[in-house]
């Protein structure tokens, strides 16, 4: 970037396209729409590595590029090789990139006056602290996840451990120093406020949503398929849905497509193979994002199998909004925000987290095609009204303008 190019906003994210995961798409759409709204934006992200073995490792210190008008600076970071890396490899991956990004944030300090850091991982906040405390920039935290609570409940972090105490202390420092804190849901906003004693006036909502110009219902024939889209990780309860399909397919000819990748994929593939379920469970892997709306449109139900944990009650996965935008009814497990979304939108059903209950809900829905069609249309209408990504980013822009000029929201 040339010295005279004035980038008003710098965004730090651990993921960005061509990585094909939810947060990469979220940050891309935020940066794209901010640019379209007249705010010059540059994104710092590592060289892409997800999914593993898709991208070659590189020793390039940095690479400048542009994606549909968005300026991107890919910076070298630790590039994990193993599908399930160990603790040391994970920590190097989480730490080296933000430290490297901090250096470039200083180098480019004359080119931006506001920085947005997106977490998790929590360490992406390091350039934010430096920009705020040393460079005197405005700082907004985009908090998508209650990372510490979720890590404890899923068994990755021991409660009351030294590591938890350090992480919480670090988060408290970050939230107290940021000018604004964005949260994806009201439950997450309340949790941040309560856990870290942050004033409500400092917290804004930056929800997940869908770009309804990209995600819409395609006029294609329906296939006898149910679909899961997204990260195949530890917070998802996909195995119960796989077992439910054994019950469903005794009465209805339908299959489950699992589209995505993640740390639990290999384990689930082994379960399907051992139980000889290949005819009814198909792992599609990652597919180009441009093909997803058509795949959703030709499906009958989208599933969001979240574990029913108090620590995850703030979550509404991006996939749910994209299902709705494509007029695809959703079936979900979980509690909290996703239950409210299903109730208000009338586009989803929340089931108990047992294979029998899931199977019963699927059979009931598939036996009522008129209800499926009505739910789909209600979902599209609700997303357009409340969770269209362009509207979300416009509200964010308003908050950024007020933050830069010192006006309270």
Per DSSP, 157 falls in state S
The beta strands (E) that lie in 102-215 are given as 114-119, 138-143, 180-183, 203-205
- Using CA atoms in the order 177, 180, 181, 184, what is the torsion angle rounded to 10 degrees? -170
Do the strands 70-75 and 62-67 form a parallel or antiparallel pair, or are they unpaired?
A: antiparallel
Q: Please check whether residues 269 and 364 belong to one and the same domain.
A: yes
67 and 20, same domain (yes or no): yes
Q: Which domain holds residue 292?
A: 225-386
What's 403's DSSP letter? H
Alpha helices in 256-317 (DSSP H): 265-274, 292-297
| Residues near 210 by beta carbon (within 8 Å), at least 6 away in sequence | 318, 321, 322, 324, 325, 383, 387, 388, 389
204, β-bridge pairs: 182
Say yes or no: 110 and 71 in one domain. yes
Residue 1 lies in a domain: no
Is beta strand 138-143 parallel, antiparallel or unpaired with respect to 114-119?
parallel
Based on the fold, state whether residues 256 and 371 are members of the same structural domain. yes
Please check whether residues 289 and 202 belong to one and the same domain: no
Asked whether residue 111 falls in the same domain as residue 231, the answer is no
Q: What is the dihedral of CA 357, 362, 365, 367, to 10 degrees?
A: -110
Do 81 and 177 share a domain, yes or no? Answer: yes
Which pLDDT band, with edges at 50, 70 and 90, does 22 fall under? Answer: confident
Residues 23 and 95 in one domain: yes
> Six-digit token pair at 249?
């397919």
Give the pLDDT score at 128: 97
Same domain? For 272 and 399 the reply is no
Confirm whether 219 is domain-assigned.
no
What letter does residue 310 receive in the DSSP assignment? G
Residue 7's pLDDT band (boundaries 50, 70, 90)? low
pLDDT at residue number 53: 63
CATH number at residue 336: 3.40.50.2000
Residues 228-284: tens digit of each pLDDT: 999 898 888 899 999 999 999 999 999 999 999 888 999 999 999 999 999 999 999
Same domain, yes or no, for 397 and 293? no
> Do 251 and 363 meet the contact criterion of CB atoms below 8 Å apart?
yes
What length is written for the chain?
Answer: 409
**Residue 367 belongs to a domain:** yes
**Nearest residue to 305 via CA among 251, 262, 254:** 262
One domain, residues 35 and 147: yes
Chain mean pLDDT for the chain:
91
List, for residues 341-388, the tens digit of each pLDDT value: 999 999 999 999 899 999 999 999 999 999 999 999 999 999 999 999
**322: in domain:** yes
Exposed/middle/buried for 4, CB within 10 Å: 0-12, 13-18, 19+?
Answer: exposed
Q: Provide Rg for the chain, Cα atoms.
A: 21
Domain count, the chain: 2
Cα separation, 274 vs 377, in Å, equals 39
Is residue 181 a part of any domain in this protein?
yes
| pLDDT 10s digits, 279-313 | 999 999 989 999 999 999 999 999 999 888 888 89
Assess contact for 233 and 120: CB atoms under 8 A.
no
Query: Do 200 and 66 have their domain in common?
Result: yes
Domain membership flag for residue 214: no
Determine which helix (DSSP H) or strand (DSSP E) holds 166, and give its type and residue range: helix 162-177
């Amino acid at each position: 970037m040339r010295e005279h190019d004035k980038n008003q906003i710098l965004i730090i994210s651990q993921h960005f396209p061509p990585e094909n995961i939810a947060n990469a798409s979220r940050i891309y759409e935020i940066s794209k729409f901010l640019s379209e709204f007249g705010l010059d934006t540059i994104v710092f992200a590592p060289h892409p590595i997800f999914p593993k073995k898709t991208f070659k490792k590189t020793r390039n210190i940095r690479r400048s590029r542009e994606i549909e008008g968005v300026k991107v600076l890919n910076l070298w970071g630790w590039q994990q090789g193993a599908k399930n890396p160990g603790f040391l490899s994970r920590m190097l991956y989480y730490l080296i990139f933000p430290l490297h990004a901090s250096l470039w944030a200083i180098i480019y300090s004359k080119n931006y006056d506001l920085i947005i850091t997106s977490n998790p991982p929590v360490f992406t906040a390091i350039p934010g602290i430096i920009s705020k405390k040393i460079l005197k920039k405005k700082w907004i935290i985009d908090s998508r996840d209650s990372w510490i609570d979720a890590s404890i409940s899923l068994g990755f972090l021991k409660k009351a451990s030294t590591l938890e105490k350090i992480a919480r202390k670090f988060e408290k420092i970050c939230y107290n120093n940021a000018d604004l804190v964005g949260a994806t849901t009201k439950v997450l906003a309340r949790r941040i406020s309560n856990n870290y004693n942050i004033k409500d006036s400092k917290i804004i909502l930056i929800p997940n949503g869908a770009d309804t110009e990209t995600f819409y219902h395609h006029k294609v024939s329906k296939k006898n398929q149910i679909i899961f889209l997204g990260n195949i990780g530890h917070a998802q309860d996909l195995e119960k849905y796989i077992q439910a399909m054994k019950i469903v397919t005794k009465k209805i000819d339908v299959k489950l497509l699992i589209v995505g990748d993640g740390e639990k994929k290999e384990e689930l593939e082994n379960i399907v193979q051992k139980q000889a379920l290949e005819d009814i469970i198909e792992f599609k892997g990652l597919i180009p994002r441009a093909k997803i709306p058509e795949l959703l449109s030709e499906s009958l139900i989208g599933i969001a199998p979240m574990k029913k944990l108090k620590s995850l009650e703030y979550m509404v996965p991006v996939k749910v909004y994209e299902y709705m935008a494509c007029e695809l009814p959703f079936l979900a497990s979980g509690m909290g925000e996703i239950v409210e979304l299903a109730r208000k939108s009338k586009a989803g059903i929340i089931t108990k987290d047992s294979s029998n209950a899931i199977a019963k809900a699927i059979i009931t829905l598939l036996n009522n095609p008129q209800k499926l069609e009505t739910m789909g249309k209600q979902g599209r209408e609700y997303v357009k009204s409340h969770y269209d990504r362009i509207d979300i980013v416009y509200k964010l822009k308003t908050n950024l303008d007020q933050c830069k000029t010192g006006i309270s929201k």
